[in-house]
Amino acid sequence: MLQEESDLSLIIAQIVQKLKGSNLYAQLERQAWASLQRPEIKLQSLKEDIKEFFKISGWEKKLQNAVYSELSVFPLPSHPAAPPEHLKEPLVYMRKAQGSWEKRILKSLNSMCTELSIPLARKRPVGEQKELLNKWNEMGTDEPDLSLFRPVYAPKDFLEVLINLRNPNYENGDSLSFRTHLGLIQVPLKVKDIPELKEFFVELGLTTGQLGIDDSTQVPPELFENEHVRIGQKVLAEQDSAAAQQYIRQGSPTALRAELWALILNISSQPEDILYYEQLKTNVIQHDLLVDSLIYKDVKLTASNDDYYFVFEDYLYQVLLCFSRDTSVLGHFAYNSASPPKSYIRGKLGLEEYAVFYPPNGVIPFHGFSMYVAPLCFLYHEPSKLYQIFREMYVRFFFRLHSISSHPSGIVSLCLLFETLLQTYLPQLFYHLREIGAQPLRISFKWMVRAFSGYLATDQLLLLWDRILGYNSLEILAVLAAAVFAFRAVNLMEVTSLAAAEAVLADLSTLKVMPLLQIFLFATVT
């Protein structure tokens, strides 16, 4: 049909345009030039012969992986008349809400800046630069005075904003009616129900083998585990991103996880990438930013206090400080409803040539931000590779957890999905908790915003994040949150206050993620 053909050519043109600026393009060009020496490349049929050469030598696979990666990350091109804001977020009232939330964050940061009389950015003197370079690998030993700093916002502040989100065209009315939502979220986004979730997460079904269930000590490994590991090794040998993404839906063996995640995220450590990371490190050494102190404070408050992650403190600084300087992250704002904060060089207010983004990557860290990086430290020990993996995970998934959007994986949809699942399948529990003033979302919000990092045991967390990568969606976070409530329902029915409900759900470190998900989705009698 005419429309589909023109849509396809638009997608192809967009992907080609994006890939043209990448490393892969330069490498393919170099390979093509080098291949001219080979005897099988003839001048008459240059194009066909080079294409054949790429197929045999594995470069076509790399290109396939890059295209697949682009398709997974970028939304489909929208209508030609749609303005760029529409691609970021189609609903006008959500754009406005995100804009006013961002303004509040900027005001908070500006007031911190003026109160403490600390500049947003300053060039380090040479002596300080040398000192920082010397202790780059042990920045955790530094004990700067951070008592005056406070995080810009915490997840509970963000939750209040989401609770007050309203669609002006939605008939709310003063009295309770069929229109009012019983939970905290009051916007009518489309969320999946259990039959649709069963179809979406079909590989988590009772008859399919799972790592996290079928690899426990009681189950003989010949039944599932050995074969699964063998298939995983084959997928890695083939270097096929799409196959890896399908494979990881059943979980990843611990030994193969680091390589599988790198394959799915299409990260390969080239010399250029290591050089890029070193450049970011130089930027950190040259300029000192206010957000650096926020990062320090966050790491000290969260990861350093965690039993599993405190050993990685130095890695966290090395990744997060470089992340703040990375301007390539600005590219994700094309499909993120958020926008990077802007500022001007001192004395040049209003002049566009002196407009810059602050921080350079446009992302202001909040309380708990470092927990996105901490679990990755178990998989990757080389700082530049760890950095690349984290950056890709952020621009694909984590940014959706702290910006207001109508995307099915956005935090608003996840909250609504959680509340809807709980209301539909545990109505007594939901009613009871609501009556005692313990709206379930108040407890589960912090789990979802951090993608459960810091709440689950690390091996369980990595099994969960396997599925996030495999399904390219964050909806599993909402399903797991509902499953946790279902698991502790008996205890929760007996509590009489929000504090008691929080206490029942305070410790999730003993939970096994995959059995909970399987039971909730496939084995609950409705």
Partner 1 sequence: MSRVSVPCHVKGTVALQVGDVRTSQGRPGVLVIDVTFPSVAPFELQEIMFKNYYTAFLSIRVRQHTSTLTPPKWVTCLRDYCLMPDPHSEEGAQEYISLFKHQMLCDMARVLELRLILRQPSPLWVSFTVEELQIYQQGPKSPSMTFPKWLSHPVPCEQPTPLIEGLPDPSRVSSEVQQMWALTEMIRASHTSTRIGRFDVDGCYDLNLLSYT
Residues forming contacts to partner 1 in the complex (CB under 8 A) are 1-3, 17, 20-22, 25, 43-44, 46-47, 78-79, 81-82, 86, 90-92, 103, 106-107, 109-110, 113-114, 119-123, 167-171, 179, 187-190, 276, 279, 283, 287, 325, 327-328, 330-331, 341-346, 349, 353-354, 356-358, 360, 406
Q: How far is the CB of 125 from partner 1 (least distance, A)?
A: 14
- Of 285, 302, 286, which Cα lies nearest the Cα of 294? 302
Q: How far is the CB of 28 from partner 1 (least distance, A)?
A: 13
Q: How far is the CB of 342 from partner 1 (least distance, A)?
A: 5
Residue closer to partner 1 by CB (options 72, 167) is 167
Residue closer to partner 1 by CB (options 234, 346) is 346
Residue closer to partner 1 by CB (options 77, 209) is 77
Chain centre distance of CA 82: 26
Residue closer to partner 1 by CB (options 122, 230) is 122
Q: How far is the CB of 345 from partner 1 (least distance, A)?
A: 6
**DSSP 8-state assignment for residue 337:** S
Residue closer to partner 1 by CB (options 260, 416) is 416
Q: How far is the CB of 337 from partner 1 (least distance, A)?
A: 13
- Cβ neighbours of residue 500 closer than 8 Å, sequence gap 6 or more: none
Q: How far is the CB of 242 from partner 1 (least distance, A)?
A: 25
Q: How far is the CB of 45 from partner 1 (least distance, A)?
A: 8
- Of 167, 24, 193, 179, which Cα lies nearest the Cα of 97? 167
CA dist., res. 378 & res. 458, Å (int): 9
Residue closer to partner 1 by CB (options 81, 525) is 81
| Backbone angles phi and psi of 465, in degrees to 5 | -70, -25
Residue closer to partner 1 by CB (options 181, 446) is 181
Q: How far is the CB of 409 from partner 1 (least distance, A)?
A: 14
Widest distance between CA atoms in the chain: 82
Do residues 252 and 232 touch, judged by C-beta distance below 8 A? Answer: yes
R_g of the chain, CA atoms, integer Å: 25
CA dist., res. 296 & res. 58, Å (int): 43
- Cβ neighbours of residue 73 closer than 8 Å, sequence gap 6 or more: 335, 395, 396
Do residues 403 and 98 touch, judged by C-beta distance below 8 A? Answer: yes
Residue closer to partner 1 by CB (options 254, 327) is 327
Do residues 102 and 364 touch, judged by C-beta distance below 8 A? Answer: no
Q: How far is the CB of 22 from partner 1 (least distance, A)?
A: 8
- For 32, other C-beta atoms within 10 Å of its C-beta total 16
Tell me if residue 171 falls in helix, strand or coil: coil
Q: How far is the CB of 475 from partner 1 (least distance, A)?
A: 15
CA dist., res. 468 & res. 91, Å (int): 25
H or E, element range at 55: helix 46-57
* 39, burial (CB in 10 Å: exposed 0-12, middle 13-18, buried 19+): exposed
Residue closer to partner 1 by CB (options 90, 209) is 90
Residue closer to partner 1 by CB (options 55, 122) is 122
Q: How far is the CB of 94 from partner 1 (least distance, A)?
A: 9
Q: How far is the CB of 260 from partner 1 (least distance, A)?
A: 28
Do residues 397 and 264 touch, judged by C-beta distance below 8 A? Answer: no
Angle at 5 between CA 65 and CA 47, to 5 degrees: 55
Residue closer to partner 1 by CB (options 48, 142) is 48
- Cβ neighbours of residue 493 closer than 8 Å, sequence gap 6 or more: 428, 429, 432
Go through the chain and tell me how many residues it has: 526
Tell me if residue 86 falls in helix, strand or coil: helix
Chain centre distance of CA 154: 17
- Cβ neighbours of residue 388 closer than 8 Å, sequence gap 6 or more: 267, 269, 273, 277
- Cβ neighbours of residue 117 closer than 8 Å, sequence gap 6 or more: none
Residue closer to partner 1 by CB (options 40, 494) is 40
